[in-house]
């Protein structure tokens, strides 16, 4: 058999590649330049299509196309090096990694140039030079991988647009031709089908592109959205940033995992956004009007509320012979290390597009400075911190707080004192020069406010059954610190489950505590708050975000990443000697992990896929024949003849061991006639193919009979084996 020439590939649909490049550009610019996504997408699409056409014009000149790629690559490297020289060595990488934290024209130019080249060349190569539909997926992996390492997920519209772009490109890849052998005749029916598919997918892609929403609806920005309100005293009730109530758990919770903000600190702590005061059952938690008003000079008093320093000063005074009425108890307390009495810093950098007036902060914050915002901040009686106006999209702000854990021994001692004893201790400390009067007044004010708050919040939400349970949990305990910790730890001892998918039948604390014992953080926070109040400990329902410290939550630059699924609710309880502490019963519950359920689903899907793959490998020829039989009826007449002939040629080559690409129609007829004695059947097929290939595209054949002839030849060949 004579050798045929190497095949060439022609017929690529350039417009199909342009749609795919537009989809890739849209996703990349959404990730990297979100505030300028439209203009940057246009620039990257135009640049990518221009690069594609350059390569396409050189498709028949391999060396020239390779040199063009290397020249462009050198230019892009030079551009990126110049940008890095101006902005710093890691500026470009940081810009790519931080996904729209900020926008810079030079960094955006370098990024667009880099990705336009590196993503366009594979699209060209695997659609024109070496058409491989599977490899054509490779460029789409870049934005998907980048999104998984940064914002966590992409909007469904963008993913659909990317998928549509791929299918359009896959339909428009070039096809194989052998110019020195059987003359190729364009199958007009196949071309019409390809163009129709391209039109359908292209129209769908265009519609998706027009309808894609901007993904800035997250748990943070939904209830902390942009708003205005109207400087020393100001109330949160004028802010739409704060929700009016915290809804109860309705079940089937599916938290998103998109990126919200970064936290930079040496002392990671959970952050608070807002608090609620009154529980209304199925209507959830709501706020009390009295505690919505905040002052702008809150920092001076909050700075004095350093509980570890107070404990260290009192213990030192007792050692020096002061505070005689309290010295015996103080001397029995362990020393508080001096390094636990200092403050620490936290920087929060929002990246989800939110524009809010709410300052997220850890408990114990006494200073808040917002980058680029010169107006005062306000703090109200339930530790909500906010500003008069939203402080801009994706703000960065700096917080100072007392970050060391509360000393439990000192907290037990002070919270075990009666109110008279507590005030007497502070007065004695002032009289003997241990602390300043201003400091004592700050501690006294917080103590008195907490007692008033507890009295006002003891309402009918605390049922007799809840009261009895609180008494049971705290029986024998003589201080508020131990009571608060006992209530928190109790959720570890009575079979409670954290279950995102559980749908409660009732929305009451009693249903959760005594019947279902299954829920999410809002259920645990509600129950904890009510039990604490029933035990005589001032407490409120608080919402914020968990700041996880595991390695998976720390990014390349050592920042703690916070995503939407880290939104959390917990109780905060006031304890003399410790201040307002987080009491989080959720952390003691047994987790019915959606991740474990998902692992089981993934395992099951993987097992099914493995079985399917094995069956496909074993029965691939039979499956191929079944698929061919199904698709045959939808083919055009010329394509039916061509496909039947190519499959008959494959059978002949399996028998003779020849190369299908170098086997002629005469050789196919000779092999089938000689080995299978089916001259009439094979002649019908090869004559129709010759008429198609060499007759100028004209043919006169019964395509149904040709298919039956091919099936007979295939069965005879299988029987021969």
pLDDT tens sequence across 345-373: 999 999 888 888 999 999 999 999 999 99
- % of residues, the chain, pLDDT over 70: 81
H or E stretch including 572? strand 567-575
**Locate tokens 């071309």: which residue?**
191
Supply the pLDDT for residue 204: 59
- Those residues whose C-beta lies under 8 Å from the C-beta of residue 269, and which sit 6 or more positions away, are 346, 362, 363, 401, 403, 547
**Position 4 pLDDT exceeds 50:** no
Per-residue pLDDT averaged across 534-547, rounded?
Answer: 94
**Position 207 pLDDT exceeds 60:** no
- Those residues whose C-beta lies under 8 Å from the C-beta of residue 248, and which sit 6 or more positions away, are 281, 282, 283, 284, 504, 507, 522, 523, 526
Q: What is the DSSP letter of 242?
A: S
**Position 184 pLDDT exceeds 50:** no
pLDDT tens sequence across 388-415: 888 888 899 999 999 888 889 999 999 9
Helix (H, G, I), strand (E, B), or coil: what is residue 395? Answer: coil
Instruction: Supply the Cα-derived Rg of the chain in whole angstroms.
Output: 36
pLDDT tens sequence across 68-80: 888 888 888 888 7
**Position 191 pLDDT exceeds 80:** no
**Position 32 pLDDT exceeds 50:** yes
Strand-strand pairing, 518-519 and 497-499: parallel
- Taking the C-alpha atoms of residue 513 and residue 271, their distance in angstroms, rounded to an integer, is 26
How confident is the prediction for the chain on average, in pLDDT? 81
pLDDT tens sequence across 48-98: 999 998 888 888 777 887 788 888 888 888 887 887 777 665 566 767 765
Residue 534 near residue 490 (C-beta atoms within 8 A):
no
H runs (alpha helix) in 88-104: 91-98
Supply the pLDDT for residue 150: 60
Supply the pLDDT for residue 177: 57
More confident call, 465 vs 73? 465
Tally of helices (H runs) and strands (E runs) in the chain: 25, 21
pLDDT band at residue 442 using 50, 70 and 90 as cut-offs? very high
Q: Measuring CA to CA, how many Å separate 485 from each of 110, 136, 364, 448?
A: 54, 58, 19, 22
**Position 633 pLDDT exceeds 70:** yes
Residue 240 near residue 487 (C-beta atoms within 8 A):
no
More confident call, 709 vs 203? 709
Residue 534 near residue 466 (C-beta atoms within 8 A):
yes
More confident call, 216 vs 504? 504
pLDDT band at residue 312 using 50, 70 and 90 as cut-offs? very high
pLDDT tens sequence across 643-680: 888 889 988 888 888 887 778 888 888 988 888 888 88
Residue 537 near residue 484 (C-beta atoms within 8 A):
yes
More confident call, 237 vs 272? 272
pLDDT band at residue 441 using 50, 70 and 90 as cut-offs? very high
Supply the pLDDT for residue 404: 82
Supply the pLDDT for residue 201: 54
* Structure token pair of residue 626: 């079944």
* Structure token pair of residue 70: 């290397």
H runs (alpha helix) in 320-353: 327-331
Q: Measuring CA to CA, how many Å separate 147 from each of 2, 112, 143, 490?
A: 52, 16, 6, 40
- Taking the C-alpha atoms of residue 215 and residue 353, their distance in angstroms, rounded to an integer, is 9
Residue 19 near residue 168 (C-beta atoms within 8 A):
yes
Strand partners, 259: 563
**Position 8 pLDDT exceeds 60:** no
- Those residues whose C-beta lies under 8 Å from the C-beta of residue 575, and which sit 6 or more positions away, are 406, 411, 414, 415, 480, 481, 484, 537, 581
Per-residue pLDDT averaged across 549-571, rounded?
Answer: 86
Supply the pLDDT for residue 697: 58
Per-residue pLDDT averaged across 107-111, rounded?
Answer: 83
- Taking the C-alpha atoms of residue 159 and residue 155, their distance in angstroms, rounded to an integer, is 7
Supply the pLDDT for residue 427: 94
- Taking the C-alpha atoms of residue 72 and residue 119, their distance in angstroms, rounded to an integer, is 13
Supply the pLDDT for residue 222: 39
**Position 100 pLDDT exceeds 80:** no
pLDDT tens sequence across 600-623: 554 555 566 666 666 666 677 777
Per-residue pLDDT averaged across 480-502, rounded?
Answer: 90
- Taking the C-alpha atoms of residue 151 and residue 564, their distance in angstroms, rounded to an integer, is 10
pLDDT tens sequence across 161-175: 888 888 888 888 876
Supply the pLDDT for residue 531: 96
**Position 231 pLDDT exceeds 60:** no
**Range with the poorest average pLDDT among 472-486, 496-510, 685-699:** 685-699
Supply the pLDDT for residue 525: 94
- Those residues whose C-beta lies under 8 Å from the C-beta of residue 508, and which sit 6 or more positions away, are 281, 282
């Amino acid at each position: 058999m004579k050798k045929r020439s190497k095949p060439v590939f022609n017929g690529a649909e350039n417009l199909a590649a342009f749609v795919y490049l537009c989809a890739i550009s849209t996703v990349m610019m959404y990730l990297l330049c979100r505030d300028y996504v439209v203009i940057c997408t246009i620039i990257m699409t135009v640049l990518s299509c221009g690069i594609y056409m350059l390569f396409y014009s050189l498709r028949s000149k391999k060396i020239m196309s390779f040199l063009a790629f290397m020249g462009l690559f050198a230019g892009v490297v030079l551009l990126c090096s110049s940008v890095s020289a101006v902005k710093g060595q890691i500026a470009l990488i940081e810009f790519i990694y931080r996904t729209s934290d900020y926008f810079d024209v030079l960094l955006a130019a370098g990024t667009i140039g880099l990705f336009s080249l590196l993503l366009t060349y594979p699209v060209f190569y695997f659609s024109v030079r070496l058409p491989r539909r599977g490899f054509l997926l490779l460029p789409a992996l870049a934005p998907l991988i980048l999104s998984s390492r940064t914002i966590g997920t992409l909007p469904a519209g963008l993913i659909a647009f990317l998928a549509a772009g791929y299918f359009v490109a896959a339909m428009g890849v070039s096809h194989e031709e052998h110019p020195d052998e059987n003359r190729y005749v364009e199958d007009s029916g196949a071309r019409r089908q390809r163009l129709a598919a391209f039109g359908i997918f292209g129209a769908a892609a265009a519609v998706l592109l027009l309808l894609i929403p901007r993904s800035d609806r997250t748990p943070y920005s939904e209830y902390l959205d942009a708003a205005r309100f109207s400087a020393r005293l100001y109330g949160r009730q004028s802010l739409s940033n704060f929700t009016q109530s915290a809804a109860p758990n309705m079940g089937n919770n599916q938290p998103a995992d998109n990126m919200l903000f970064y936290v930079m600190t040496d002392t990671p702590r959970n952050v608070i956004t807002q608090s609620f005061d009154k529980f209304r059952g199925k209507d959830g938690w709501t706020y009390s009007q009295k505690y919505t008003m905040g002052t702008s000079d809150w920092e001076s008093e909050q700075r004095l509320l350093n509980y570890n320093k107070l404990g260290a000063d009192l213990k030192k005074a007792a050692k020096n012979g002061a505070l005689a009425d309290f010295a015996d108890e103080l001397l029995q307390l362990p020393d508080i290390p001096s390094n636990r009495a200092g403050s620490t810093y936290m920087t929060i950098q929002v990246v989800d597009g939110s524009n809010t007036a709410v300052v997220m902060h850890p408990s114990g914050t006494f200073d808040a400075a917002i980058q680029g915002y010169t107006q005062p901040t306000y703090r109200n009686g339930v530790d909500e911190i906010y500003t008069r106006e939203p402080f801009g999209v994706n703000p960065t702000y700096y917080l100072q707080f007392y970050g060391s854990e509360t000393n439990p021994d000192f907290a037990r001692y002070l919270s075990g004192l009666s109110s008279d004893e507590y005030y007497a201790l502070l007065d004695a400390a002032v009289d003997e020069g241990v602390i300043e009067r201003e400091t004592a007044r700050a501690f006294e004010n917080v103590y008195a406010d907490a007692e008033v708050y507890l009295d006002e919040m003891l309402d009918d939400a605390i049922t007799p059954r809840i009261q009895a349970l609180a008494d049971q949990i705290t029986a024998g305990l003589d201080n508020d610190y131990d009571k608060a910790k006992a209530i928190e730890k109790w959720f570890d001892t009575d079979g409670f489950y954290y279950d995102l998918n559980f749908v409660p039948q009732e929305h009451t604390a009693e249903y959760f505590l005594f019947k279902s014992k299954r829920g999410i953080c809002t259920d645990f926070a509600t129950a904890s708050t009510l039990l604490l109040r029933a035990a005589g400990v001032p407490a409120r329902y608080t919402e914020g975000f968990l700041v996880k410290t595991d390695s998976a939550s720390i990014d390349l630059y050592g920042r703690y990443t916070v995503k939407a699924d880290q939104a959390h609710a917990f109780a905060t309880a006031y304890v003399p000697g410790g201040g307002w502490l987080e009491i989080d019963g959720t952390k003691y519950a047994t987790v019915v992990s959606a991740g474990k359920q998902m692992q089981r689903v993934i395992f099951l899907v993987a097992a099914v896929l493995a079985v399917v793959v094995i069956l496909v490998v074993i029965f691939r020829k039979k499956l191929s024949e079944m698929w061919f039989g199904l698709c045959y009826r939808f083919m055009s007449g010329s394509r039916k003849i061509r496909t039947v002939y190519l499959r008959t040629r494959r059978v002949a080559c399996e028998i003779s061991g020849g190369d299908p690409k170098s086997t002629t129609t005469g050789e196919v007829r000779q092999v089938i006639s000689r080995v299978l004695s089916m001259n009439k059947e094979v002649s019908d097929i090869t004559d129709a193919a010759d008429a198609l290939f060499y007759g100028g595209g004209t043919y006169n054949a019964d395509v149904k009979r040709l298919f039956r002839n091919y099936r007979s030849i295939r069965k005879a060949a299988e029987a021969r084996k």
